[in-house]
Chain A
Amino acid sequence: MAKEKDTKPMANTVIGSSIVIDGEITGEEPLTILGTVKGKISVAQSVTVEAGATVEADIEAQTVTVSGRLTGNVVARERLDLKPESKMVGDAKSPRIVIADGAGFKGNVDMDV
């Protein structure tokens, strides 16, 4: 609900739905992806893969929220959130992992226990 407001571009980085990035994204600010990213993502804050987005990349971030399709290994220092309708293939490493009802996931889970 309030989420829709959050995705509006502020000081953050937003990769729009028609954008294709092939390479590496590094940063210190929240990253929202609606388009396609292939390669590697390394962000100090949150990464949000919105519905309709396709990410084929290894992700390293504080929190990772997936509503779209994600192929790659994820290291979330704080939290990984797989929303309903999301599809993820890859290994997940995070102290807190939330997989919602309806989410698709294939891979290893490592919660550091």
Chain B
Amino acid sequence: MADKETVIGPETRISGEVRGEEDLIVRGRIDGKVQVTQTLTVEKGAIVQADVDVRHLVVSGTVVGAIVASESAKLTSTARVVGDLASPRVMMEAGAAYRGRVDMGDIAAARAAVSSHAVQRLAANEKAAVRPAPPRMATPAKAVVAGKAAAPVAPAAPAARSAVAAAASPPSPASPPAFPRVAGAMGAMTPAWAKKKIRRR
């Protein structure tokens, strides 16, 4: 057990990419990308601002980013999650705060969408003078296959891209394209337009 478990302590922060084939417990903070073939547990007080690709996900803390959980995703009562969530089994306890789109269907398509997110984020991170081609161009086949699942990402993407272009100089960590503002409390995170959209649905 002790062997096959990674713990990110409460006073530790990782910015970058975390990959692995074991359970990952986050009590601190991860910015970037998380890809684990087992369970990712985000404990209360922990922050994961990353695209997440795992088997099981249990959130008691805060997660901001596109999420793919290939088997199950559980949001406990203290969870704060912003970002699209794709998983065949999704559990949300009373008290969990969530904003985003849930997809219990095509995981492969969602995964393709997430990886194109990741490409986009990397491009933003590099903040090179020459802006690379949009990720959808880089993975045309996947985008086409993604079809329905990729579509909801598309409307938000141009806005995010222009935001990135406008704010080319500040070296802030790239936020997920669909949710440009990530700092601050839950309420402050939600732009007016997004609230409207949710209400209309």
Q: Chain A residues in contact with chain B, CB under 8 A?
A: 7-9, 11-29, 31, 34-35, 39, 43
Segment at the A interface, from B12-20, B62-70, B147-155, B193-201? B12-20
Residues of A within 8 A of B131 (CB): none
Minimum distance in angstroms from A16 CB to a CB of chain B: 4
- Please, how many angstroms separate the alpha-carbon atoms of A23 and B15 in the complex? 6
Partner of B18, one of A8, A21, A34: A21
- B83 close to A (CB within 8 Å): no
Partner of B32, one of A11, A18, A23: A23
Instruction: Assess A9 versus B11: contact at CB under 8 Å? Given A16-B22, A21-B16, A35-B20.
Output: no
Instruction: Assess A20 versus B19: contact at CB under 8 Å? Given A13-B12, A31-B12.
Output: yes
A14 touching B16 by the CB < 8 A rule? no
Instruction: Assess A9 versus B16: contact at CB under 8 Å? Given A18-B21, A19-B22, A29-B10.
Output: no
Query: What are the interface flags for B20-61 relative to A under an 8 Å C-beta threshold, 1 for contact and 0 otherwise?
Result: 111111001000100000000000000000000000000000
B6 touching A35 by the CB < 8 A rule? yes
Q: Chain B residues in contact with chain A, CB under 8 A?
A: 2-25, 28, 32
Residue from B4, B5, B9 having most chain A Cβ neighbours under 10 A:
B9
Residues of B within 8 A of A18 (CB): 4, 20-22
Chain B minimum-CB-distance residue to A23: B16
Instruction: Assess A19 versus B7: contact at CB under 8 Å? Given A25-B12, A25-B13, A27-B28.
Output: no
B2 touching A9 by the CB < 8 A rule? yes
- Please, how many angstroms separate the alpha-carbon atoms of A20 and B14 in the complex? 12
Residues of B within 8 A of A26 (CB): 12-15
- Please, how many angstroms separate the alpha-carbon atoms of A30 and B9 in the complex? 9
8 additional A-B pairs beyond A17-B3, A20-B18, A24-B16, beta carbons within 8 Å, are A9-B5, A13-B8, A13-B9, A14-B7, A16-B3, A22-B16, A27-B9, A27-B12
Residues of A within 8 A of B28 (CB): 13, 27
